[in-house]
Structure formats: structure tokens, C-alpha cells
Structure 1
């Protein structure tokens, strides 16, 4: 049998060999650890920073000074970071890589000089395209998160909304049953009159007609029928209003443009949706001022109103009050939600707008309501002011410009 000789494995390159290989690389090459101790700095990178071999130990610290603050955290998280840095009068493209193991952290930086205006412009265009793609992904994720939170809120309120719809539907159904009986009685009287008109002596049937009218209580029917129809119409309008408000509220807003809107209409629409969640323990007061039409995204502001109203309701344990107020000051309008619930401690107040932070029991809240609300108001170039005292209640005031800055 022929025996095949397998060559023995060569030893790993020494540090000197790695440094020699680094000198052959056509890019500036810098290898350092998390203590900013340099192990390899080739001639191109030393020339780039204007230091000799003896001064190469400080290159990592100089690079850290030039990098944006987010570069090192990002490269630790994703393993890579790319960007452009001004070094002297030149613009340099930097590719930063990270590796971590039991021995510690290592960083590899590759530098490439942008020689001319064309190269620089091409590099800028590439970075711009990458940033735009990242922005579009982030914007899409934010829209999906907003819509997800909207639908989650509606899902939590679904039983209450169904109850609000079932109530008017229930009495409309009952009224239709009464209307059917009324119509039967009225047709009976009409038939009696028709027989009287065809009879040779109509006066002889007058007593019978009066008896039918008394037995069927036609006088009561004539009084009750308009009220019955008005109640039924009111019930149908109530259902129509709830369905319309739900449609407006759940609209994703992807194609919604900035428009002039009545903030009071949005408030009433939102209150109409969530009222079943509040009405059993909350007395709601409205102190509305005279507001101009506001340039805004109405659907997104409705989401803010809902989050703040529900939070105010949840802060009230058994029975309490919520006051919704509006007003205008100069070129700004404000909408305020005040409750006399449990209040928020100063330590928690600093975190209430953090994503996923919630004081509610596990499974009772996503922790996104106030965070999303803060983002929406920030998009509208407004602000949310918070005042709260433990045991006395909280006041959230939304301040918005009447017109968006151009």
C-alpha cells in the first residue's frame, strides 16, 4: 500500500512576520487593543499621521480622538464601522473592525486616502446613499412601531368598544320590536276605518273603532312613536360615530400629509373610543379654549391623546377626576390632561419617556405609549411638560406650534 506523506502544519506567523506583512498592505494599517496599545502600525499609517516608528504607540489614542463618539460602541456591537475622517488637509476613509475573545479585545483599522475631488465626492455620495437607506429603514420601523402600538391599544379596548356599540344596537333592536307591534296596531285601526268607509252606515261602526283605539292604546302609540324613532336614529348615529372614530384612529398615516385640523375634534374622537374604559371610575371635565386650526398629523396626535388619557385613567385606583383643558399662547397652543391619581415619584418621572419602561404590572403595558407620544410631539416641533406629586396626581401638558417651521 502506498503511504501518502502529509506535510506538517507550519507555525503561526510571528509578530515580526505580521508587521512585515502589514508593510506590504496598500492601505494604512493599525492594530490595537481596548487599552489603545498598538501592536501593528505600518509605514503608510505612520506617514498619514506624520509620526515615526517611535511615535506610533500613540496612534490609537489619536484615532479615538478623531472618531465620532458612536463609532467604538457601534463597532463593538456589529463588528464593523466605516466612515470618513479629516486628517490634516486630507480626507481619509476608515474601515474599523472588532474582534473579542477570552484573550481580550482587538481592533483593526484600515485607512485609505481620498486623493482628488472626484474621489471625495464619490465617497460622499456613497456615504449619503448608505445614510439614506439607514434612515428609510429606521423611518419604516418607526411607522410600523407606531401602527403596532395603535392596533395594540385598540385591541386592549376592543371589549369596551364592542360594549359601546352593543348598547345602542341593543335598544335599536328593542325599538324595532316595539315599532313592529305599533305598526300592527295601526294597520288594525286602518282596516277598521276602511270597513267603515265601505259599510252602508259608517256611523254604526264608530263605536267599534273607538273600542279598537282604546284597546290598542293608539293615543300612547302616537305619542311614543316619534320618541322611539328619535332614540333609534340617535343609536345608529352613535354606532356610526364610533366606527368613524375607530377608522380615523387606526389609520396608519403612511400617506397622511400635514394638514390644518381641529384639535377639539380629535380629542372628542379619542374620548369617544376609550370612554368605556374610563366611565366607570372617572368624571371627565372639559375646559376648552378657543383654538385656531393647527398644522399637524391628526391621526398621530390622536394616538398621543389616547395614551395620556389611558395613563390618567390607570393612575386612578377607584374613583377620580380627569380634566382636559386647551388654550393658546401666542403662536403656540396647548392641550393638558390632569388627573388626581397616584402621581409619579421624581425618580420614575425621569424615565417615563424611555422605551419599554412601564410601572404597570407585567403583561399590562408595552412601555411604548409615552415613548411614542414623545416622538410624535417632537416630530411636531412641540414638547410635553410633566408635573406630578405622589398621592395628588399628575399633569401632562402638550405644547404645539400653530404652524410648523419651514
Structure 2
């Protein structure tokens, strides 16, 4: 006999036999269509529904058909999850007990059918097994959520830099432009200096060096060597300053765009982060606002510096956008007990009371389409919340707004 011959295909038992078997098993069986039509609801399900006096859930299930009762028990996304993935499972409270539910979906001839299997959790082992499974599922959901949040954070960071790209390029092009110009002048200066040096060398080799002094003086006058000697140090200093500015902008951009996935909590000078952020976005602000710094004496603060820099950028850009033509942005810092605070005040249009309730909502923005993602303040709120701090807002329409970040100096252990 071959292996395959041991498996014999036999016709299924008639439907009454299957229904009788469903009635005898301890697990609940509920088969229904999407429109709520119930095909099978065995005795265990009817007991859970409240049709059996021994279950204690009669009040909750009274007057409901099994399909409607199950829909009320399930989480809002359970049926959708079953439609997308073919199944859903979880634990639900029924009366005073917990029940494990497995929900399956099958489409046939354009109609969806659902099969729900119920099993009561009995004994300590079942409870521990269910808790371990729920813990594993929650951990996976947390990891997915954490990964999504990191991607969203990085996406918003890159979107901010993208919006500032033209301004950053301008800030880099300016010093590069005058360094390039200075190099052209330096080339001319060197040519003049080499001409004078050659004249001196000829004089040293001549039998009568003093006879060439008039020629040397003429060359010095013609090439204005006295001016070159005065201008050359200034030209080199300007070029060095320009290169340092470009280096600083590139470094700040690199620090700001850093993903932060592996960034650890560290003690940081908040003023350095503020200056770095201002340096990146200065071209966006300088034509609209005067920037005032009122910095206090701050201790080193335990934080994730890359994420705080993004908060500074969001609040500074919002302050700049709130100013219609010309105004003032004031950045203040200080210490208050075990906390430090950073304040951003603008003389813009202010925020109306009805909008204040929504400004931290994801994707909410008052900017024109295409000029903002609506995630800046929402992400800033979550970053400050991660730092166990808070954001306070004081705004008067027509006068301006003040956002204050309050952060603990040391993170709670």
C-alpha cells in the first residue's frame, strides 16, 4: 500500500450532523454574513449572548442577535483587519470572564462570510499563555510604531531642510563668492610681488645695485606695493572668515539632518544648539525679522540634541512666518528650579483662541497648500513630551505669540 492510498476522500456529513457536532463542542462557533445573517450560532455562543441563565451576561446580550452582539464586542478595526489579512484574533471580556476570539473571513460570490471561534480562558496556564501572547503582540506593535515615528521625524526634518534649501544655498554662495573674488585679487597681488622680487634679485646680481634703485622704486609705485601690503592681510582674513562660515553651515546641516536613531542622551549646551539652528535658517529670517538673544546662564542639560534642534527650527520658522512684513523675534533662556526654559517670542499676528486648541494636532496647518506639512508643532510636542517637558503658549491676536519650552535638567530615572 502506498502512502497516498491511506488518505481516502469521503463526502462530508450532512448539515444536521455538523450542526449537532457544533452544539456539543465547548468552543463557541458563530458563522455569519457581512449583512448580519447568522448561519450557525451554537449553544456556547448562545450562552455567552445571555440566552443561558448560567453565564451572567444576559443583560449585556439581551435583545441582540449574535452577529450584532459580536460586532459590539470587537475592536473597531477587527473586521477590517480580517478583510485585509483573512483573520483576526484577540481576547475580549464577556461578562466576568475573558474569551479568546479567532475571526476568519472568506469571500464567495461577492459576499463576505465570517467565522468566529470562541474559547474561554480557563486556569492560570491559559491566562499566562494569553498574557504572553498579548505582550508579544504589543511589543511588535510598539516597535512598528516607534519605527514609524522615527521615519516621520526624519521625514519632517528633511522636509524642513528642503524648504530652506534655497536660503541655505544663498548663505553658502555669499562667502564662496567673495572668497573666489579675493583669490582673483590675490593672484594679481602675487604677480606684482613676484615682479618686485625679481627686480631686487637683478639688483643683487648687478655690479652696481644702487643704479637699479630708481627702477625698483618705479615698479613699486606702478604696482602700488604699499597698498598691497596693507590690503593683503585683510583679504586673507576675509577669505578665512568666509571659508569658516561655509564650514560652520555644512557642519550644522550635517548635525541637524542626523537621523538620531542611535543618538543617546547626553549633557548638552542648549545655547550651542540654538546658535547652530539659527545659523541654518538665518537666510529665512533676516529679511523679515530682527533677532534678539536674551540668554541666561544655563547648566548642561540631559537631552537628545538633534531632536531639540528640530524643535528650535520649527518654532523659529513659525515665528518668522507669523510676521507679515517686518518684526522682532526674541529668543530667551533661563533656569527655574530643576528645569530650564527656552522661549521664542514674535511680534506676528498671534493665534486666535479657537486655533490654539488645534495647533498641536498632526497635519493641522494655517499655511497655504505646499508650504507646510502640518507636522512641525505636532512633532515638536512629542519630542518635548519624550524629554518629560512641556510647551506653554501665550498668544494675543494682533500682538504676537510666545512659545516656552520647559525641560528638566536631568531626565528622571
Q: Distance in 1 between matches of 2:320 and 2:58?
A: 61
Q: Distance in 1 between matches of 2:194 and 2:331?
A: 52
Q: 1:391 aligns with which of 373, 398, 401?
A: 398
Q: Deviations over 1:354-376 (max 9, x none)?
A: 11110011111111111111111
Q: Deviations over 1:231-286 (max 9, x none)?
A: 00000000000000000000001111111111111111110000001111110001
Q: Distance in 2 between matches of 1:178 and 1:280?
A: 31
Q: Give the deviation of 1:45 after TM superposition.
A: 4.4
- Structure 1 counterpart of 2:77: 74
Q: 2:383 aligns with which of 349, 373, 376?
A: 376
Is 1:129 equivalent to 2:136 in the alignment?
yes
Compared CA separation, residues 361 and 89, structure 1 to 2 (3 A): closer
- Structure 1 counterpart of 2:154: 147
SS at match of 2:76: helix
Compared CA separation, residues 70 and 343, structure 1 to 2 (3 A): farther
- Structure 2 counterpart of 1:43: 43
- Structure 2 counterpart of 1:102: none
Is 1:330 equivalent to 2:331 in the alignment?
no
Q: Determine if contact 1:38/1:59 at 8 Å carries over to the other structure.
A: no
Compared CA separation, residues 346 and 57, structure 1 to 2 (3 A): same
Q: Deviations over 1:142-190 (max 9, x none)?
A: 1111111111111111111010000000000000001001111111111
Any unmatched runs of 5+ in structure 2?
1-14, 107-111
Q: 2:278 aligns with which of 262, 271, 277?
A: 271
Compared CA separation, residues 395 and 216, structure 1 to 2 (3 A): same
Compared CA separation, residues 106 and 351, structure 1 to 2 (3 A): farther
RMSD, aligned CA: 3.5
Count of matched residue positions in the alignment of Structure 1 and Structure 2: 387
Q: Determine if contact 2:296/2:334 at 8 Å carries over to the other structure.
A: yes
Q: 2:365 aligns with which of 352, 355, 358?
A: 358
Q: Distance in 2 between matches of 1:56 and 1:201?
A: 124
Per the normalisation by structure 2, the TM-score is: 0.83
Q: Give the deviation of 1:42 after TM superposition.
A: 4.0
Per the normalisation by structure 1, the TM-score is: 0.85
